[in-house]
Chains A and B, each alone.
Chain A
């Protein structure tokens, strides 16, 4: 793939990730779930980028998501998005590269959801300087198992469509 075509493709994926993030924000808060917990649909896109285009593309998508949150929702939201996004993007790349013999998309996606949570918890502890926020960890982990599983299944389903988009750019 020529370099400028890859840039265009990553830009399209960034757009997709931002759209999914926006659609997700329309879902009203659900009681019983830890506040702020989100399904993370846009991770489908980041995971595809990590597996199909490599680490820099996945990190770039996470960075664009973080910057978008920073501009539209403020510094705190930007930092939370970035801390979770970067860590989980790195985990996606490493697991898809080295753990594909032992783990499937569901397992990889669940671990990445947990990495996302861990990154955000660390950022929240750093912001508030209050360590007791770790009490959120169990609820977040259980929710992460559910959303990670869904993300893995959805990714499997949309891989053909995303590969088709990619093909346009490869065969240009």
Chain B
């Protein structure tokens, strides 16, 4: 197989991808005040938790085939329990800022943190 290890084009690819990723991430994270966590199962929103106004620990038992249990507290939210094989949802850790997300693929359950734009400047 006669292909060089590195060519100038490679550098262009890497820089273009890195810049695109950073710009995308910047806009995804830009709206961070008043984060709201949205839990959806199979594309249907089942619960929205206003993380910024949360004063007590909140347990959300979704049940289902995988006994999903989600905990929201102290401005963060995370998967506490799932019977899925990989536990990627639990390993995603605590979500706090808009743009953060955790997914349990087998249970089709997604938690996303979104920013609320409702309190834009009021004149």
Residue contact B14 to A145, C-beta cutoff 8 Å: yes
Q: A73-B85, A110-B10, A127-B108 are in contact. Are A105 and B3 (CB under 8 A)?
A: yes
Tell whether A161 is near chain B: CB-to-CB under 8 Å: no
The 12 listed contacts between A and B (C-beta, < 8 Å) are A31-B93, A48-B1, A77-B85, A77-B86, A96-B1, A104-B5, A104-B10, A107-B9, A107-B14, A124-B105, A142-B22, A153-B5
Of A35, A100, A130, chain B has the most CB atoms within 10 Å of the CB of A130
Shortest A13–chain B CB gap in Å is 13
Tell whether B122 is near chain A: CB-to-CB under 8 Å: no
Q: A96-B3, A100-B3 are in contact. Are A124 and B101 (CB under 8 A)?
A: no
Residue contact B20 to A141, C-beta cutoff 8 Å: yes
Q: A132-B112, A145-B14, A145-B17 are in contact. Are A103 and B9 (CB under 8 A)?
A: yes
Q: 8 Å CB contacts to B: which residues of A121-160?
A: 124, 127-130, 132-133, 135-139, 141-142, 144-145, 149, 152-153, 156, 159
Residue contact B105 to A128, C-beta cutoff 8 Å: yes
Contacts of A76 in B (CB 8 A): 105-106
Tell whether B109 is near chain A: CB-to-CB under 8 Å: yes
Q: In whole angstroms, how far apart are the Cα atoms of A35 and B102 in the complex?
A: 8
Shortest A129–chain B CB gap in Å is 3
Q: Is the interface of B mostly helix, strand, loop or mixed?
A: mixed
Q: Interface of B with A (CB < 8 Å)? A: 1, 3-7, 9-11, 13-14, 17-18, 20-22, 24-25, 28, 38, 40, 42-44, 85-86, 88-89, 91-93, 99-103, 105-106, 108-110, 112, 114
Residue contact B21 to A138, C-beta cutoff 8 Å: yes
Tell whether A91 is near chain B: CB-to-CB under 8 Å: no
Q: Interface of A with B (CB < 8 Å)? A: 29, 31, 35-36, 48, 51-52, 73-74, 76-77, 80, 96, 99-100, 102-108, 110-111, 114, 124, 127-130, 132-133, 135-139, 141-142, 144-145, 149, 152-153, 156, 159, 163
